Amino acid sequence: MTSPFVRRRRLATELRTLREERGLTAEALSRLLHRSRMKISRMENARGRPDVAVVIKILDVLDVPDDRRQKIITIAAEAAERGWWDTFGDTMGARQRMYADIESGAATIRGYDLMSIPGLLQSPEFNQALIELDKTEMPELDYGGRR
């Protein structure tokens, strides 16, 4: 399942593409819809949850074919869904909510930590092997702490 954030981005791309295909500016579309240009801009930039009714009006004004129309309405409905993180309100923090939103649809999450060594590698033998490797690669180092 794709996250609502990703769906909002996809919807934004679809709406902007449709408007541009028709040769309309955001200002012209806003006049046709009797909505503010800011409302159109927010939808085309994936800022906040979309209003499905407004999306349907946009599709009506742009005279979108039924097959593409249904696909976009489905994306809009899914993009308007709330995630589990929304129940925490502002206590979670905007940045944490954004990560939860993006990660909610992830199939795999990988991390990289340069400073972390897995527990199995933290053995005296492994450390000694690293020291020996350093001695061969940098013989000018004195392992008593001096150069």
pLDDT tens track for 67-88: 999 999 999 998 888 888 878 8
Task: Judge whether 85 and 101 are in contact, CB under 8 Å.
Answer: yes
In a domain, 51, yes or no: yes
In a domain, 54, yes or no: yes
In a domain, 135, yes or no: no
In a domain, 75, yes or no: yes
In a domain, 29, yes or no: yes
In a domain, 96, yes or no: no
Say whether pTM exceeds 0.75: no
Domain count along the chain: 1
For 6-62, the DSSP string reads HHHHHHHHHHHHHHHHTT--HHHHHHHHTS-HHHHHHHHTT-S---HHHHHHHHHHT
In a domain, 141, yes or no: no
CATH number, domain containing residue 41? 1.10.260.40
pLDDT tens track for 82-132: 888 878 877 878 888 888 888 887 778 787 777 666 666 678 887 788 788
In a domain, 24, yes or no: yes
Residue 12's domain comprises 4-79
* Closest listed residue to residue 50, CA positions, set 2, 8, 92: 8
